[in-house]
């Protein structure tokens, strides 16, 4: 069965410190993987995507993610958090061009 | 990048009335559109998938007679919430995908529905 798990419901960091948001997936197929960000009462914005090219994917706003097939993970990182990064982040997995599954989301809090 | 719009962004209606939400792909043709529902502080739940010119495929537990979806053209899909009740209050988000987009979906900004 296909699934996606975001390991933390919320993460709190101080401004200027690194961010790590964890995502694991389960799939029988080669997945496409995405990270989206959602600010309060807003739609989703694509941060980055992995579609079987380079395993280290760079996205917008300084975010990047590494696809690790052996660990079935696609964790999102950023070297230095900014106050404007506070939002909800969703890991999304798409299988075979048909099914898209959203993770439960991780709320990122950034302290001044 | 590809742009998807939704109209209206917010709607408040009385219980028992019907509400139509439009989803448009502005600069590309969307062979497939999706409708999601998001409850407060929760993830998105896929409601249905629609392909232009054919009937929508609803996810388990979604009432097709209550949530009417029409994908009349390659740039427009509509979701009609019929006989809305307060429990239908939610954030509804659509997305669109082209045949060559490598599984990427482009999301609309969402519609906040409040049923009084």
pLDDT surpassing 80 at residue B112: yes
CA–CA dist B90, A40 (Å, integer): 14
For the cut 90, the answer to whether the pLDDT of residue A1 exceeds it is no
Question: Distance between the two ends of chain A, CA-based, in angstroms?
Answer: 41
In DSSP notation, A63-81 reads -EEEEETTTTEEEEEESS-
**pLDDT range class, residue B1, cuts 50, 70, 90:** low
Phi, psi of B72 (to 5 degrees): -75, -25
User: What pLDDT was estimated at residue A66?
Assistant: 94
Q: How far is CA B102 from CA A45, A50, A88, B44, in A?
A: 17, 10, 24, 21
Q: Are A95 and A29 in contact (CB under 8 A)?
A: yes
pLDDT at B82: 97
Contact A43 B44 (CB under 8 A): no
Going by the DSSP 8-state scheme, the letter that residue A84 receives in this structure is G
Which pLDDT does position B88 carry in this prediction? 95
User: A31: which 2 tokens?
Assistant: 């997945």
Q: How distant is the Cα of B10 from the closest Cα of chain A, in angstroms?
A: 10
Give the pair of three-digit tokens for residue A39.
């600010």
Q: Are B4 and B94 a contacting pair, CB within 8 Å?
A: yes
pLDDT digits (tens, 9 = 90+) for B34-47: 999 988 878 889 99
Average pLDDT taken over every residue of chain B: 90
Phi/psi for A82 (5° steps) reads -120, 155
* pLDDT band of A96, cuts 50, 70, 90: low
d(CA A51, CA A74): 12
Q: Backbone dihedral region of A54: left (phi > 0), alpha (psi from -120 to 50 degrees) or beta?
A: beta
CB contact under 8 A, A97 and B103: yes
Confidence class for position A59, pLDDT limits 50, 70, 90: very high
pLDDT per residue as tens digits for the range A60-84: 999 999 999 899 999 999 999 999 9
Comparing A97 with A105, the larger pLDDT belongs to: A105
Shortest Cα distance from A103 to chain B (angstroms)? 7
In sequence order, the β-bridge partners of residue A111 are A14
pLDDT, tens digit (0-9, with 9 covering 90-100), for A22-56 = 999 987 777 889 999 998 877 788 999 998 778 89
pLDDT mean over B48-65: 90
A42 closest CB neighbour out of B34, B45, B109: B109
The predicted structure's pLDDT at residue B11: 96
- Of B23, B75, B20, the C-alpha closest to B53 is B75
């Amino acid at each position: 069965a296909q699934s996606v798990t975001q390991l933390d419901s919320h993460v709190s960091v101080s401004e200027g410190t690194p961010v790590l948001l964890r995502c694991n997936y389960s799939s029988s197929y080669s997945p496409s993987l995405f990270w989206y960000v959602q600010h309060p009462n807003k739609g989703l914005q694509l941060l980055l995507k992995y579609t079987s090219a380079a395993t280290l994917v760079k996205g917008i706003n300084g975010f990047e993610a590494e696809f690790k097939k052996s660990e079935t993970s696609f964790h999102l990182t950023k070297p230095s958090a900014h106050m404007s990064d506070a939002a909800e982040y969703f890991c999304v997995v798409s299988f075979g061009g048909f099914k898209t599954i959203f993770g439960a989301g991780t709320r990122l809090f950034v302290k001044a | 990048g590809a742009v998807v719009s939704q109209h209206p962004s917010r709607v408040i209606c009385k219980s028992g009335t019907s509400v139509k939400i439009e989803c448009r792909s502005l600069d590309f043709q969307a062979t497939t559109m999706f409708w999601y529902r998001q409850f407060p502080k929760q993830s998105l739940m896929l409601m249905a998938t629609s392909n232009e010119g054919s009937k929508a495929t609803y996810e388990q537990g979604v009432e097709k007679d209550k949530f009417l979806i029409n994908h009349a053209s390659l740039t427009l899909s509509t979701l009609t919430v019929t006989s809305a009740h307060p429990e239908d209050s939610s954030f509804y988000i659509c997305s669109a995908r082209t045949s060559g987009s490598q599984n990427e979906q482009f999301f609309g900004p969402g519609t906040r529905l409040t049923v009084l």
